[in-house]
């Protein structure tokens, strides 16, 4: 899908969405569930571009802002990442790692996301690089809440760490 500058008006309320899961989902069930959760004033048209990659056509700025600001959104315990469709950027090339940066900044200071997080085979995890404050304990989990939904947890796993204590989670002793 290529977007020309004169078509900008048609794409003002279009989102690209990716469901981060390695499970096969029922598209119609996901579409109906998220439409019911979002309770949009003007409706929504969802198109599946590829497995777990979708285009969401909204019809009002209020609905668009509500979806973008009230997240993060989950479907069957999998993160639904959203971004505005940009002019002249194919939907497959829209960067969908803003949520990843927010999560990375919760753990430490976000540096970068693995370029393979959003391409290829779907995983039940994302790999990011962060700078850690070694005077603080390692973060094990992050609690996230969606509007009108129970709390969910994101668990963290670390790679390439020196010795650390599994009890107090401090780097430097075992």
- Model confidence pLDDT, tens digit, residues 82-106: 888 878 778 777 777 667 777 888 8
Same domain, 15 and 85: yes
DSSP the chain: ----GGGGGGGTTEEEEEEE-SS---HHHHHHHHHHHHT-SS-EEEEEEETTEEEEEES-HHHHHHHHHS--EEETTEEEEEEEPPTT--GGGS---HHHHHHHHHHSEEEEE-TTTTSSS--S---EEEE--TTSPPP-EEEEE-TTS-EEEEE----S---B-TTT--BT--
State the residue range of the domain holding 87.
5-93
Same domain, 77 and 128: no
The pLDDT assigned to 58 comes to: 92
pLDDT average, residue stretch 42-64: 89
Same domain, 13 and 84: yes
Asked, for residue 46, whether it belongs to a domain, the answer is yes
- The more confidently predicted of residues 66 and 113 is 66
The pLDDT assigned to 29 comes to: 92
Same domain, 14 and 69: yes
The pLDDT assigned to 94 comes to: 75
Q: Are 18 and 30 in contact (CB under 8 A)?
A: no
pLDDT band at 9 (very low <50, low <70, confident <90, very high): very low
Same domain, 77 and 129: no
Which of 57, 75, 93 corresponds to the end of one domain? 93
The pLDDT assigned to 1 comes to: 41
Same domain, 79 and 109: no
Same domain, 83 and 10: yes
Asked, for residue 149, whether it belongs to a domain, the answer is yes
pLDDT band at 5 (very low <50, low <70, confident <90, very high): very low
Same domain, 89 and 108: no
Which of 93, 110, 126 corresponds to the end of one domain? 93
Average pLDDT over all residues of the chain: 79
Same domain, 16 and 66: yes
- What's the CATH code of the domain at 34? 3.30.70.330
Which of 77, 93, 109 corresponds to the end of one domain? 93
- Model confidence pLDDT, tens digit, residues 112-167: 777 676 555 555 677 888 888 888 999 998 887 655 567 778 888 888 888 888 89
Same domain, 75 and 113: no
Structural domain count, the chain: 2
Q: Are 113 and 100 in contact (CB under 8 A)?
A: yes
The pLDDT assigned to 133 comes to: 87
């Amino acid at each position: 899908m290529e977007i020309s500058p004169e078509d900008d008006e048609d794409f003002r309320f279009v989102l690209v969405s990716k469901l981060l899961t390695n499970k096969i989902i029922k598209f119609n069930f996901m579409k109906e569930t998220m439409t019911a959760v979002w309770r949009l004033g003007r409706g929504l048209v969802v198109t599946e571009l590829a497995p777990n990659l979708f285009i969401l056509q909204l019809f009002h700025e209020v609905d668009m802002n509500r979806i973008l600001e009230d997240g993060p959104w989950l479907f069957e315990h999998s993160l639904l990442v959203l971004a505005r469709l940009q002019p002249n950027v194919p939907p497959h090339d829209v960067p969908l790692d803003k949520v990843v940066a927010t999560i990375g900044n919760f753990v430490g200071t976000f540096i970068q996301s693995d370029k393979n997080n959003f391409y290829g085979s779907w995983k039940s995890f994302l790999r990011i690089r962060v700078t850690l404050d070694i005077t603080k304990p390692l973060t094990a989990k992050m609690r996230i809440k969606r509007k009108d939904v129970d709390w969910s947890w994101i668990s963290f796993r670390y790679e390439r760490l020196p010795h650390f204590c599994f009890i107090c989670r401090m780097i430097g002793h075992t």
